Amino acid sequence: MARAMFEYTIDVLKKVSFNFELFSKELKKAIERLLPHEIKELRIWLKQFTFDKPELYPCLSIIQ
Q: Are 62 and 24 in contact (CB under 8 A)?
A: yes
Q: Name 57's Cβ contacts closer than 8 Å, sequence gap at least 6.
A: 50
The pTM score is: 0.90
pLDDT score for 2? 63
Residue numbers of the domain that contains 20: 2-63
Q: Name 7's Cβ contacts closer than 8 Å, sequence gap at least 6.
A: none
Total number of domains constituting the chain? 1
Mean local confidence (pLDDT), 8-21: 96
Per-residue pLDDT for 1 more than 80?
Answer: no
